[in-house]
Chain A
Amino acid sequence: MMTHDEVSELLGAFALDAVSHDEYELIEAHLAECPRCRAEVDAHREVAAALGNSVEPLPEGLWSSIASRLPPRQDEEPPPMPLLVRDGVTEDVAPVPVFQAPAASRPSLARARRSVRTRLGAVASIAVAAAAVSIVLGVNLVHDDHQISQLQDALGTSAHTAVVAALHTQGSKVVHVESPSHHELAEFVVVPDGQGYLVKSSLPSLASNQTYQLWGVYGRRSISLGLLGRSPNQATFTSAGPKTPKALVITAEPAGGSVTPTGAMLGTGTV
Chain B
Amino acid sequence: MQEIGDVSDAQLVTSVARYSEVALAEVYRRHGGAVYGLARRLLNSTAEAEDVTQEVFLRLWNSPDRFDPTRGTLRSFLLAQSHARAVDAIRSLNSRRLREAKDARRTANAEYDMQHEVWDLSLAEKVSEALGTLPVEERRAIELAYFEGRTYVEVAELLDQPEGTIKSRIRNGMRRMRAVLVEAGIQGVDA
Contact = CB atoms under 8 A, between A and B. Distances in A.
B58 A66 contact: yes
B174 A49 contact: no
Interface string B52-90: 011001100111111111111101100110111001000
Given A12-B173, A66-B58, A256-B18, A48 B53 contact: no
B127 to A, nearest CB: 5
Nearest to A62: B50
Interface in A37-56: 38, 42-56
Contacts of A134: 1
Contacts of B43: none
Given A45-B72, A66-B58, A132-B2, A79 B151 contact: no
A66 to B, nearest CB: 5
A17 B84 contact: yes
Nearest to B86: A17
Interface residues on A, range: 35 or more
Contacts of A13: 145, 151-152, 166-167, 170-171
A257 to B, nearest CB: 7
A66 B70 CA distance: 27
Contacts of A56: 33, 36-37, 40
Interface in A97-127: 116, 118-123, 125-127
Interface in A3-55: 9-13, 15-20, 38, 42-55
Contacts of B23: 259
B14 interface: yes
A9 B14 contact: no
B145 A18 contact: yes
Nearest to B63: A119
A120 B119 CA distance: 34
A69 interface: yes
A67 B79 contact: no
Interface string A172-214: 0000000000000000000000000000000000000000000
A37 B7 CA distance: 32
A125 B11 CA distance: 10
A66 B118 contact: no
B65 A120 contact: yes
A69 B33 CA distance: 19
B55 to A, nearest CB: 9
Contacts of B38: 52-54
A260 B168 CA distance: 49
27 contacts: A10-B152, A10-B167, A13-B171, A17-B83, A17-B149, A38-B71, A43-B178, A44-B174, A49-B189, A51-B146, A53-B79, A58-B32, A59-B36, A62-B36, A66-B53, A66-B57, A69-B54, A71-B61, A81-B18, A120-B17, A122-B66, A123-B64, A125-B70, A126-B11, A127-B8, A132-B7, A133-B2
Given A48-B146, A123-B69, A126-B10, 6 more contacts: A12-B175, A46-B72, A48-B79, A53-B38, A54-B118, A66-B28
